[in-house]
Structure 1
Amino acid sequence: MKKKIMPLHLLKEENGTLEAHLPGHLQKICLIDLQPEIDQANTYFMGLVLINYPLTKLGNGLELFKAVLEESVEGKSSSSITAINAFFFGKLAEECAKVVHQGDILVLTGFILTKSPTSRKDGRHHYQLELSEDSGTTVYLFGRSGAIGTSKAGPSSVSQKYTYTPLNQLKGGTIVNVYGVVKFFKPPYRSKGTDYCSVVTIVDQSNAKLTCMLFSGNLDTLPKIYKIGDIIRFHRIKIQEFNNEMQGITSAGFSALVFDGTVGTPIIPRTSSKLFHYTSEDQKMLEILRSWAVNHLSIGGLTVKLSAVQPMQYFDLTCQLVGKAEVTVQSFLLKVWDGTECPYPSWKVFVEDDALEGDKAVIHQLRNLTADILVYDNHLQVAKSLMVGSFLRIHSLHAKLQTPSHGTETEALYIEFQLHGGTGYGRGITTLPESNYDVKDLQKYMDSIDLKESQCSEDTFLLELEGQELLPCDALERCQQSSVTILTAHQHLKKTSLKTILSNKAPQKYCVRVKLKTYEPKKLYQSVKLYCPKCDSLQEVPGENDLASILQDCATKHPNAKLQNTSWYKSTVWNVEHPKERQLVIHFVKRNEMLQNPEDSLIMIEDAVLHEVYRLSQRFGSVIPVISKGGHLSLADISAPYLIQGKRWYYGCKHCSNLKYMECLQSITKENFWKPTSIAKALGIEPLHHVLIMKFTLDDGTGCLDAYLWNNSEIFFRISASEILIDETLQEKLEMIMSMLCPAKQNLDDHPWLECCIKSYNTKGGMESRVCYQIFDTVVVENI
């Protein structure tokens, strides 16, 4: 019996061109021409495998293999749709799943066209290809070889060719390939969801720009950009219109290559993918962009040596990490050097030797050439993961200028190097490989330095110690008593007595050693307030009785049935029997025109009272109380929360908000997450921030003054103000800390010492001006 031959042909590059293996009567068909009424028996479709899925089984036991194919460039039309879903069934699916990989070229004949049920969601062709042995399918597979994964290989005989769209010709709703020079970028950071996010703005010779929001669950798949001026190539990036500008976002099959933009540097693509094309056409494009950028873009001057740093400057620093240590739960120390010395006295952060990670001998040897950098907030996790000895580029580093508080013009200024929280202005940390062109230059310079000449001798150091004034025994004993707080900055400031501070004019900064005599409010939950940073107003957090009254009043305003079901939300009516028969209207807001799972949903509710709001917020991810007003939906009351996410209730400022109708939420329904800031911006709300405000009465034996703790309070206690009201554990922690700082029924002499930074400032109450004091850059020691 003759063995049946499977309709799957595997071809290699040495077999010659793929077309030579096809029957002569077959004609190539383009994606745009695929229609059910066309006779498919005499046509073939050729495409590049963008995505291949694992083999699965249908409910009837039939094997299924799915691949997403991008048509070859020769067949492309001006249509924005460039990809199509292909489904293989039965034995053919089983065989294809074994040999088909991303980057392969497939030629398909004898396929069946059916309507694609997912075309609106995935943006691919509105028909799909179905292939099986029973329908007479033949599959030719050309496995990729040397043209993929190396920049040295040339294109194969069926190598995929790409066209690149100038940035001034982009259109919304299209998927394109582009080249550009990086004008701005944010290093990858963790978004509020599970993905990493990177933002990059590119420009090209057309003098147009494109800002791209790139998301990925895998950090390595985001482009590896090291500096402004790098050149980037995007394949299959989706273009959409946002705020009257074109914006790029990731799509299926998205990939990126990054190159150093410096003229004359080696052409080494940066990518985590093992499958990529790089041809002589790419090299030509790269050289053109390099030359154009040199003559038309101002990309120099962003990276600065330590020796050229100026006070108050923001700059990028290329350096090597020689030591690191955790300072507080919200700050982390990086000791770095770049072979040069800062021209100003720089701030040295005190940490215990055991806490400092790094070679102690190297740290000591480089002590006059290192800069201490404190990083905060969202950069902590990256800082902790850095390897000592690695090369870094720290973006938007701040050379913060500090002046001694009781100094004169002749006293030295201090520079504090800080990487503030957030991602504004591209703040972040990038690890550079040793193969990087800038790193090689830096290493070469460092190797040329005579470290012996740059360091003070041990004898000189000892002589300096001998010349220091010794403290009296009682003062020394007092200073050696441990403090329950530590400074996060300004360690160079000398201690000042409260008596001296009270006699000085404001504004000034001081370091003090004091005891907490008393504090307000005694009921600690009352210390949490709502603050508007725009108008500097403070207000109380609404209590349950206030909220119940506000929502009850709104519930008397009956919903408008005409507002149900629109293009961007779906409405339903729930009958409520208790305490009286009425209707509760819920509007389910769609994201990307799709309804979400309850935990991911945003709902708008009408006619709900407080206990119903509580119940709905436990089931649905985001809740907004609304009312029907003049044919529109609007916020129920600005005194009520504008958004509820679980136990987190968000409020807006009555004075600064310029409320808009709920229709404005349509502008953010394509975002990945329901962000409170995005919702507030869309609805014209100025968000209020939870703050922790307390008044401390301090005493050091020479005087007594009241100092407020609020801007620094969350750092001081290591507790989030917004979390205190919803977390009983944090309330207990706050009570425990305060009972330690100010023990009840004890003499002041038995209270612990606090080392604090205090600043004085002038304020006006009516016609009178007075001096106030505020605690800052201070934190309570852990496990006190």
Structure 2
Amino acid sequence: MSGPAQKYVYTPLDQLKEGTVANVFGVVIFFKLPYRSKGTDFCSIVTIVDQSNVKLKCTFFSGNQDALPRIYKIGDIVRFHRIKIQKFNNDFQAVSSSGFSALVFEGAVNAPLVPRTSSKGYSFTSEDRKTIESFRNWQFGLQSFSSSRRNLSDVQPGQYFDLLCQLVGKAKMDKASYLLKVWDGTKCTFLPWKIFVEDEALEGDRDSISRLQGITVDILVYDNHVELAKSLKIGSYIVIQNLHAKVHSSANENQGHDTYVEFHLHGGTCYGRGISVLPEDDSDVKELQKVLGAVKLQSNPPLDPVFDVTTSDTQLSQMSPPFDALERYQQLSVTVLPVRHQWQITPLADIIKNKAPQKYRIRAKLKSFQPRHLYQSVKLHCTKCNYLLDTPDEEKLSKIFEDRFTGSPKTNTPDTFWYRSAVWNTVTLDKRAVAIHFLKKYDILQSPEDSLILVEGASFKELCKLSGHFNTIIPVKSKEEHLEVDLSAPFLIQGKKWLYGCMKCSNLKSLEELKSLSLERGWNAKEIAKVLGVELLTHMFVMNLTLEDDTGSVDAYLWRHSKQFFQIPPSVVLMDRDLQERLHRIMNELCPSTKQITEYPWMNCCIRSYNSCNGGKERICYEIFDTILSEPDMDISP
């Protein structure tokens, strides 16, 4: 809301004088998004120009990031009040002085005259309005304020560009990098780099991510951009500045149709590098929303879905990536390399001679694998402390619940304001009592398929039956007057997914914390774990595969990328007989005990070498990554 009109005098940039405090208008020709300086303040750098064709570099500092100019693109128009003019290397520069304020307007002709500002009161007169319009017409007539923004369909390998897009998913990779999964309604003409992420680590609506998987790109952001990336909300509209479409180095990278690109936002602030979040009333966002709304996607897409866009056939053919190389690559192999298919094949004998770390593409056969009992390959892994342990099978789970959970629950358990209790006696010989505590939502009970229940005193088989009726189950025990979780057993059950918590890293809180989720929609396992202080363990397959080609053999681990390899969720395989049979069938196809190795199918794989120090002795190990079985029920002859 603007305050009372006040007369200000504005100085053209060619009339500025050293040592004065001035008010100016200008068009942005370069800017750096606010970043934390070496001190405690945030810093913003902006270069502007006006009709005099004189440029002015401005450097502003503030302890409040929101007080700095909210600039989104080249061509934005700014109004700065009370900037101090200094001279450096014979050029005028500006810094903020006492009472500094800034208004930022979109530079497009006919865009709304709504300023971006953190000021609660500011003046904006009819003269200011005329000035903004004159700057808009001036820069439009010159057409010299070219933006570096590109659509994904226009991006060329090796380019640095700005991308306006919508965020559909995100995930933490490590301390120095973060994944953003975005789309802009167009499709990259070069095969984009796809990064494998565990379902549990990926934030975003699963249905949307699945429907958009053929049109999204994965972007890795690094270092100083990670904290901002973490804070981004799914669905927000963002501009990623100075994004690098990096070409993967390979012998075939000059063959355009075989080239693929990796998208990186490197660390630092050079060339305005950074991420900004745009409001939904921004005119560029409104145009993007129209483009996104025109994209028609299949409701049940294949692995790399085909999508229809309301454009001409010529435009559609330009947007569709060439898949010839990928199809050639898949021939006579039971595996697919979704990203690095153009790497040259390296013989295993050469790999063994090389130092680590290195990455390779190989073509080999599966000579043998361990463990032979495949249920033993499902492990639980803590990403925080790196603890790895066996997943209990049905026999062990039955024993755990018999020893720890089938005591006598309190039969006089009173209802509370956040759950209602019921107790029944089993028909077994021991006539045990089982208590179920139904969590309330909006102070009412839900239907079973939507309910979260706390179960006390049930056996393993009884929990299996209950999991077929109720959405979410948390096994609990009574301790004095309270209920508590026991992490020696599954912490949470959702259908065939039995989830565990790390006993080392968890910091358990009271079950009453669940009431803070009572107004949330659905029961999200990660959110439940967070409020209860449980560090969730990740299910994964851990196998040792002996791979052999005509030159030699290596032992390679399959673990962090095992879910990608099998396309089978390890979190449910132990509770799903069909998936267990499917896993056995896959391994029998890859390594058939009734045939000679010459009859085994070929596998194209990516493997990486790394140095490992176990027991004080250093050795080179190998791990399979970025490799997918092309057909779960394959039957491919060599």
TM-score in same-fold range (> 0.5): yes
Query: Does the C-alpha gap of structure 1 residues 519 and 683 become closer, same or farther in structure 2, counting only changes over 3 Å?
Result: same
CA contact (8 A) 1:372 1:417 kept: no
TM-score, normalized by length of structure 1? 0.46
Q: In 2 relative to 1, CA 558–318 (structure 1 residues): closer, same or farther, beyond 3 Å? A: closer
Residue 287 of structure 1 aligns with which residue? 113
User: Structure 1, residues 653-685: CA drift from partner, whole Å, max 9, x if none?
Assistant: 121111122111111111111111111111111
Amino acid at match of 2:211: Q
Would you say the 8 A contact 1:599–1:620 is kept in 2?
yes
Conserved in 2, the CA contact under 8 Å of 1:585 and 1:607? Answer: yes
2:498 alignment partner in structure 1: 649
**1:262 pairs with 2:106:** yes
Residue 449 of structure 2 aligns to which amino acid in structure 1? Answer: E
Greater mean deviation of Cα atoms: 654-663 or 579-588: 579-588
Gaps in structure 1 of 5+ consecutive residues: 1-182, 184-206, 210-226, 230-259, 268-285, 320-331, 339-368, 387-392, 408-412, 420-424, 442-477
Match 1:681 to one of 519, 523, 530: 530
User: CA shift at 1:374, angstroms?
Assistant: 4.9
Q: Deviations over 1:244-289 (max 9, x none)?
A: xxxxxxxxxxxxxxxx98354546xxxxxxxxxxxxxxxxxx6344
TM-score, reference length from structure 2? 0.55
Show CA shifts across 1:458-503 (max 9, x none). Answer: xxxxxxxxxxxxxxxxxxxx99972222211123322211111111
Alignment of 1:90-109 (within 5 A): none
Map of 1:6-85 to 2, 5 A cutoff?
none
Secondary structure, aligned partner of 2:113: helix
Contact 2:164 2:184 in 1 (8 A): no
Q: Is the 8 A contact 1:336 1:372 kept in 2?
A: no
Match of 1:701 among 550, 560, 580: 550
Change in Cα spacing, 1:372 to 1:545, as seen in structure 2 (3 Å) is: closer
Equivalent residues of 2:186, 2:215 under 8 A apart: no
- Measured in 1, the distance between the counterparts of 2:611 and 2:381 equals 20
Q: Amino acid of the residue matched to residue 546 of structure 1?
A: K
CA RMSD of aligned residues (A): 4.9
- Are positions 1:372 and 2:191 aligned together? yes
Residue 316 (structure 1) aligned with residue 163 (structure 2):
yes
Q: 1:400 to 1:656 in 2, by over 3 A?
A: farther
What 5-or-longer segments of structure 2 have no aligned partner? 1-33, 35-63, 67-71, 75-103, 123-145, 167-180, 200-205, 217-236, 253-258, 266-274, 292-327
Please say if residues 312 and 399 of structure 1, whose CA atoms lie closer than 8 Å, have aligned partners that are also in contact: yes
* Alpha-carbon distance between aligned partners in 2 of 1:440 and 1:644, rounded to the nearest angstrom: 41
Q: Which residue of 1 aligns with 2:262?
A: 416
- AA matched with 1:597: S
Taking the aligned partners of 2:455 and 2:289, their CA distance within structure 1 comes to 57
Helix, strand or coil for the counterpart of 1:716? helix
The answer as to whether partners of 2:379 and 2:391 remain within 8 angstroms in 1 is yes
Q: CA deviation at 1:510?
A: 0.7
1:638 aligns with 2:457: no
Maintained 8 Å contact 2:366/2:590: yes
Secondary structure in 1 aligned to 2:514? Answer: helix
- In structure 2, the residue corresponding to 1:770 is in which secondary structure? strand
Alignment pair present for 1:772 and 2:621: yes
Q: Give the whole-Å Cα distance in 2 for the aligned partners of 1:578 and 1:372.
A: 60
User: Is residue 2:448 matched to residue 1:598?
Assistant: yes
| CA distance 1:694–1:533, change in 2 (3 Å) | same
SS of residue in 2 equivalent to 1:723: helix
Deviations 1:735-776 (A, max 9, x none): 232222222232222222211111001111111111110111
Q: Using a 3 Å threshold, how does the CA distance of structure 1 residues 559 and 764 change in structure 2: closer, same or farther?
A: same
Tell me, yes or no, if the aligned pair for 1:335 and 1:373 is still in contact at 8 Å.
no
- Bigger relative contact order (CA 8 A; separation at least 6): 2
> In structure 1, what is the equivalent of residue 25 of structure 2?
none
CA contact (8 A) 1:335 1:370 kept: no
The one-letter code matched in structure 1 to 2:346 is T
Among candidates 386, 389, 407, match of residue 539 of structure 1: 389
**In structure 2, distance between residues paired with 1:563 and 1:713:** 45
**How many equivalent residue pairs?**
414
Contact 1:402–1:414 (Cα < 8 Å) also in 2:
yes
Q: Aligned runs of 1:170-181 on 2, under 5 Å?
A: none
Deviation, 1:616, is 2.3
Q: Alignment identity in percent? A: 39
1:672 matched to which residue of 2?
A: 521
User: Deviation digits for residues 386-440 of structure 1, max 9, x if unmatched?
Assistant: 9xxxxxx997798586765999xxxxx9842499xxxxx999xx9x999966899
Q: Is residue 382 from structure 1 mapped to residue 229 from structure 2 by the alignment?
A: no
Change over 3 Å in CA distance of 1:208–1:627 after alignment to 2: farther
Deviation at 1:575, TM superposition (A): 2.9
- Which residue number corresponds to residue 196 of structure 1? none
**Aligned counterpart, 1:690:** 539
Q: Distance in 2 between matches of 1:690 and 1:599?
A: 25
The CA deviation string for residues 287-334 of structure 1, in whole angstroms up to 9 with x for no partner, is: 3444669x99xxx99956789999899963569xxxxxxxxxxxx999
- Residue pairs, 1:324-723, within 5 angstroms: 370-374=189-193, 378=206, 379-383=209-213, 399=244, 415-417=261-263, 482-555=332-405, 557-560=407-410, 564-635=414-485, 637-723=486-572
Q: Which residue of 2 aligns with 1:389?
A: none
For 2:213 and 2:105, locate their aligned partners in 1 and report how far apart those are by CA, in whole Å: 27
Give 1:569 shift. 0.8
- Given candidates 592, 604, 629, the residue that maps to 1:755 is 604
Change (3 A) 1:405 1:640: farther
Paired residues of 1:742 and 1:751 also in contact (CA < 8 A): yes
In structure 1, the residue matched to 2:42 is none
1:578 offset after TM fit, Å?
Answer: 2.7
1:737 partner SS: helix
One-letter code of the match for 2:509? Answer: K
Once residues 515 and 317 of structure 1 are traced to their aligned partners in structure 2, the CA distance between those partners, rounded to angstroms, is 45
Greater radius of gyration (CA): 1
Contact 1:507 1:761 (C-alpha < 8 Å) held by counterparts? yes
